[in-house]
Amino acid sequence: MKQLVIFIVILTSMAMASCKSKKVEEDKRANPASEAFFPEWSHDAVIYEVNIRQYTPEGTFKAFQQHLPRLKELGVEILWFMPIHPISEKNRKGTLGSYYAVQDYKKVNPEFGTLDDFKMLVDVCHKLGFKVLLDWVANHTGWDNVWIAEHPEWYTTDSTDAIVSPVADWSDVADLNYDKHDMRAAMIDALKYWVNEADIDGYRCDVAGMVPVGFWEDARAALDSIKPVYMLAEDEGVKELLKKAFNMNYGWHFHHIINQIAKGEAGVKEVKDYFALVDSTYPAGSYPMQFTSNHDENSWNGTVFERLGNAAETMAALTFTIPGMPLIYTGQEAGNTKRLEFFEKDEVDWSNLEMQEFYSGLINLKQENSALWNGESGAPILFLSTSDESNLLAFSRAKDNSKVLAFFNLSENPVHDTIDCTPAPGIYSDAFSGKEVKIEGQYPVSLEGWGYTILVE
């Protein structure tokens, strides 16, 4: 009888411990701003998008690996690799097809190398201090994906039971049906595979808003049970994704605003309105990824120089000083001036790294001033009063011992104004020249067209 009592006590203790452990995990997911959800390494990180196909003449993992020391010197911390899976041949667009028409979720595109090559690349990245995100396409597959032959019932069909594309123009892919729970389980299994097999650190998830939130939350929990991961959603409209599944989403709205500013179609008001919206709609701790370019923008809408013209550097500096994690896309540090082909080989010219020092300076600025860090690790943005409310953007970000003052001319014409800096007095230094500046009360500012000044304390 005594042994039975002891046995019952042990079982009860184990059950209570299990419940407590489960409760802790639930609390972590219920509070996305927690350290468990936002790892320390992400606090000051800058993300870099890697286009393996166009990066080198060889277009392989091994060839790209030679660039890692340069990227380490640049200062980026997260490497996001566009999809590395085999590309479907059926209904392929162009000669090489789209990375986003996946043929097999658990294999590597042989054009890039082998699984062992990728695992070695991830290992070297980790040894150099990088974190690795893999691009994931969960909404659809290529037309000759192994699932179509084995499980055609996992796909969306029309009235004639024919499998359909998710969007008419996406003729090279077939839409997955998330009402099918077996398919969901297989997708999560595939996601877990790359964390287990290659030790990646998370995912950038293509058109994440087209996939049910519940799936992503289940997937995040499954991945975190292996190791804490970091998740980026290619989405801006479904904020629910940021509650338990994703750390960061796309700042599409702000990207469009800076394009409009460069064309003289927007200004300070639109910037202020954007951050008011972010403050009121983003869950605690989460934040947008800010960018002047990415693979879609570069290939389909133009290079930063086509879209932004003389404002290109100004807008890049702005994305590094406003709230959110900044992105650098393959070739931006080389001043890439061409739209990279999406379905063909079209490598980047690395002969002139004219923008490497520029971006390195912006990364140092962000990482050395905690007010500019990501999410709740950084400071909120406080807009300052100016007379020129259309073109002169002035703001302060301050947290603990870190203070940043920024003045941006959002026009091609010179501006001369006096800014009310009463909320942010102090002895600052120019972030780039090192010149000391005393700020108190009204502060006169003169900026050339698209000019900017960033002060730090």
Q: What CATH number corresponds to the domain at position 303?
A: 3.20.20.80
- Helix segments in 175-267, DSSP class H: 181-198, 213-224, 241-244, 252-262
Burial of 301 (0-12, 13-18, 19+ CB in 10 A): middle
For residue 21, is pLDDT > 80?
no
Better pLDDT: 47 or 390: 47
Residues 121 and 143 occupy one common structural domain = yes
Which H or E element spans position 430? strand 426-430
Residues 297 and 402 occupy one common structural domain = no
Mark which of 338, 356, 378 sits at the end of a domain: 378
Does residue 181 lie in a domain region? yes
Give the mean pLDDT of the chain: 93
Query: What does the pLDDT read at residue 130?
Result: 98
Share of the chain above pLDDT 90, in %: 91
Query: What does the pLDDT read at residue 36?
Result: 74
Does residue 18 lie in a domain region? no
Share of the chain above pLDDT 70, in %: 93
For residue 24, is pLDDT > 50?
no
Does residue 59 lie in a domain region? yes
9 band by pLDDT with thresholds 50, 70 and 90: very low
Predicted structure pTM score: 0.92
* Per-residue pLDDT reduced to its tens digit, 272-320: 999 999 999 999 999 999 999 999 999 999 999 999 999 999 999 999 9
Mark which of 327, 346, 378 sits at the end of a domain: 378
Q: Which domain holds residue 194?
A: 32-378
Q: DSSP secondary structure string, 362-425?
A: HHHHHHH-GGGSSGGGS---EEPB-S-TTTEEEEEEEETTEEEEEEEE-SSS-EEEEEE-TTS-
> What's 234's DSSP letter?
S
Residues 299 and 341 occupy one common structural domain = yes
The CATH number linked to 420 is 2.60.40.1180
354 band by pLDDT with thresholds 50, 70 and 90: confident
Q: Per the structure, how many domains does the chain have?
A: 2
Residues 190 and 264 occupy one common structural domain = yes
For residue 388, is pLDDT > 50?
yes
Does residue 26 lie in a domain region? no
Mark which of 378, 399, 423 sits at the end of a domain: 378
Residues 307 and 402 occupy one common structural domain = no
Does residue 10 lie in a domain region? no
* Per-residue pLDDT reduced to its tens digit, 232-258: 999 999 999 999 999 999 999 999 999
Residues 271 and 333 occupy one common structural domain = yes
Mean local confidence (pLDDT), 110-123: 98
Does residue 44 lie in a domain region? yes
